[in-house]
Protein backbone atom coordinates (compact mmCIF):
# COMPACT_ATOMS: atom_id res chain seq x y z
CA UNK A 1 0.00 0.00 0.00
CA UNK A 2 1.14 3.52 -0.75
CA UNK A 3 -0.08 6.94 0.43
CA UNK A 4 -1.76 9.24 -2.06
CA UNK A 5 -3.00 12.80 -1.69
CA UNK A 6 -6.22 13.86 -3.34
CA UNK A 7 -5.62 17.42 -4.57
CA UNK A 8 -8.32 20.00 -5.30
CA UNK A 9 -7.44 23.58 -6.16
CA UNK A 10 -3.83 23.20 -5.06
CA UNK A 11 -4.83 21.88 -1.61
CA UNK A 12 -4.81 18.40 -0.17
CA UNK A 13 -8.44 17.42 0.33
CA UNK A 14 -7.74 13.92 1.66
CA UNK A 15 -5.01 11.30 1.98
CA UNK A 16 -5.71 7.66 1.10
CA UNK A 17 -3.93 4.33 1.01
CA UNK A 18 -4.06 2.42 -2.28
CA UNK A 19 -2.14 -0.20 -4.17
CA UNK A 20 0.19 1.42 -6.70
CA UNK A 21 -1.58 1.41 -10.05
CA UNK A 22 -5.01 1.32 -8.35
CA UNK A 23 -5.00 4.90 -7.05
CA UNK A 24 -7.77 7.27 -8.20
CA UNK A 25 -7.08 9.46 -11.22
CA UNK A 26 -5.27 12.63 -10.21
CA UNK A 27 -4.05 11.23 -6.88
CA UNK A 28 -0.47 12.23 -6.06
CA UNK A 29 1.92 9.85 -4.33
CA UNK A 30 3.23 11.29 -1.08
CA UNK A 31 6.15 9.61 0.65
CA UNK A 32 5.99 11.83 3.73
CA UNK A 33 3.11 12.62 6.06
CA UNK A 34 0.80 15.24 4.61
CA UNK A 35 -2.78 15.99 5.48
CA UNK A 36 -5.87 17.91 4.51
CA UNK A 37 -5.16 21.61 4.20
CA UNK A 38 -1.60 21.20 2.95
CA UNK A 39 -0.72 23.01 -0.28
CA UNK A 40 0.61 21.29 -3.39
CA UNK A 41 2.24 23.27 -6.20
CA UNK A 42 2.64 20.34 -8.59
CA UNK A 43 5.94 19.25 -7.07
CA UNK A 44 6.13 20.11 -3.37
CA UNK A 45 3.77 19.67 -0.45
CA UNK A 46 3.75 22.55 2.03
CA UNK A 47 2.24 22.41 5.51
CA UNK A 48 -0.31 25.09 6.39
CA UNK A 49 0.97 27.82 8.70
CA UNK A 50 0.76 27.00 12.38
CA UNK A 51 -2.17 28.72 14.03
CA UNK A 52 -1.25 31.77 16.05
CA UNK A 53 -1.88 31.95 19.75
CA UNK A 54 -5.53 32.00 20.65
CA UNK A 55 -6.48 35.27 22.27
CA UNK A 56 -10.05 34.43 23.10
CA UNK A 57 -11.52 34.36 26.52
CA UNK A 58 -10.27 37.61 28.06
CA UNK A 59 -12.45 38.66 30.95
CA UNK A 60 -13.69 42.24 30.99
CA UNK A 61 -11.19 42.92 33.79
CA UNK A 62 -8.30 41.52 31.76
CA UNK A 63 -9.44 43.59 28.79
CA UNK A 64 -9.62 46.77 30.88
CA UNK A 65 -6.06 46.25 32.07
CA UNK A 66 -4.87 46.58 28.47
CA UNK A 67 -5.65 50.30 28.82
CA UNK A 68 -3.77 52.91 30.84
CA UNK A 69 -5.44 54.50 33.84
CA UNK A 70 -5.89 57.75 31.88
CA UNK A 71 -7.47 55.87 28.96
CA UNK A 72 -9.88 54.11 31.32
CA UNK A 73 -10.74 57.43 32.99
CA UNK A 74 -11.35 59.11 29.62
CA UNK A 75 -13.56 56.22 28.51
CA UNK A 76 -15.54 56.39 31.75
CA UNK A 77 -16.00 60.17 31.43
CA UNK A 78 -17.24 59.71 27.87
CA UNK A 79 -19.63 57.03 29.13
CA UNK A 80 -21.02 59.25 31.91
CA UNK A 81 -21.58 62.08 29.41
CA UNK A 82 -23.26 59.72 26.94
CA UNK A 83 -25.55 58.30 29.65
CA UNK A 84 -26.50 61.77 30.88
CA UNK A 85 -27.25 62.91 27.34
CA UNK A 86 -29.34 59.79 26.70
CA UNK A 87 -31.34 60.40 29.87
CA UNK A 88 -31.89 64.03 28.85
CA UNK A 89 -32.94 62.98 25.35
CA UNK A 90 -30.08 64.90 23.75
CA UNK A 91 -27.66 62.06 22.96
CA UNK A 92 -25.85 62.20 19.66
CA UNK A 93 -25.71 59.17 17.39
CA UNK A 94 -22.09 58.68 18.51
CA UNK A 95 -23.13 58.67 22.16
CA UNK A 96 -25.91 56.19 21.46
CA UNK A 97 -23.45 54.00 19.54
CA UNK A 98 -21.12 54.11 22.55
CA UNK A 99 -23.91 53.05 24.92
CA UNK A 100 -24.91 50.17 22.63
CA UNK A 101 -21.28 49.09 22.28
CA UNK A 102 -20.79 49.26 26.05
CA UNK A 103 -23.90 47.14 26.60
CA UNK A 104 -22.49 44.56 24.18
CA UNK A 105 -19.20 44.43 26.09
CA UNK A 106 -21.04 44.15 29.40
CA UNK A 107 -23.11 41.24 28.07
CA UNK A 108 -20.11 39.40 26.60
CA UNK A 109 -18.98 36.27 28.41
CA UNK A 110 -15.45 36.95 27.15
CA UNK A 111 -13.66 39.31 24.79
CA UNK A 112 -11.78 38.04 21.74
CA UNK A 113 -9.12 40.47 20.51
CA UNK A 114 -9.33 38.85 17.06
CA UNK A 115 -13.03 39.69 16.71
CA UNK A 116 -13.53 42.41 14.06
CA UNK A 117 -16.24 43.95 16.27
CA UNK A 118 -13.65 44.64 18.98
CA UNK A 119 -11.41 46.38 16.43
CA UNK A 120 -14.38 48.41 15.18
CA UNK A 121 -15.28 49.42 18.74
CA UNK A 122 -11.72 50.59 19.32
CA UNK A 123 -12.00 52.68 16.15
CA UNK A 124 -14.63 54.69 18.04
CA UNK A 125 -12.16 55.14 20.91
CA UNK A 126 -9.65 56.53 18.42
CA UNK A 127 -12.26 58.85 16.88
CA UNK A 128 -13.27 60.12 20.33
CA UNK A 129 -9.65 60.77 21.33
CA UNK A 130 -9.60 58.09 24.04
CA UNK A 131 -6.92 56.06 22.21
CA UNK A 132 -4.36 56.75 19.52
CA UNK A 133 -4.16 54.45 16.51
CA UNK A 134 -0.85 53.13 17.87
CA UNK A 135 -2.43 52.32 21.24
CA UNK A 136 -5.33 50.60 19.50
CA UNK A 137 -2.83 48.31 17.76
CA UNK A 138 -1.16 47.55 21.10
CA UNK A 139 -4.50 46.72 22.73
CA UNK A 140 -5.45 44.40 19.87
CA UNK A 141 -2.04 42.72 20.20
CA UNK A 142 -2.84 42.08 23.87
CA UNK A 143 0.03 44.28 25.03
CA UNK A 144 -0.37 45.75 28.49
CA UNK A 145 0.51 49.46 28.69
CA UNK A 146 4.05 50.36 29.69
Overall number of domains in the chain: 2
Does one domain contain both 72 and 106? yes
Q: Is 118 left (phi over 0), alpha (psi -120 to 50) or beta?
A: alpha
The residues that bridge with 111 in the sheet, in sequence order, are: 58
Per-residue pLDDT of the chain (146 residues; tens, 9 = 90+): 889 999 999 999 999 988 988 888 889 998 888 889 899 999 999 988 876 655 567 888 999 999 999 999 999 999 999 999 999 999 999 999 999 988 988 888 889 998 898 999 999 999 989 999 999 999 999 998 87
Domain that holds residue 15: 2-46
Q: Are 121 and 101 in contact (CB under 8 A)?
A: yes
Kindly report whether the global pTM for this prediction surpasses the value 0.75: no
The answer to whether residue 51 is domain-embedded is no
Amino acid sequence: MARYAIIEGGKVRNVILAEPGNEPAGAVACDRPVGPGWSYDGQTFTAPPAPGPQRTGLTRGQFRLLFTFNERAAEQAYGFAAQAAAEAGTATSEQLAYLAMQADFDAAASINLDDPAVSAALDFYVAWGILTAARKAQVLAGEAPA
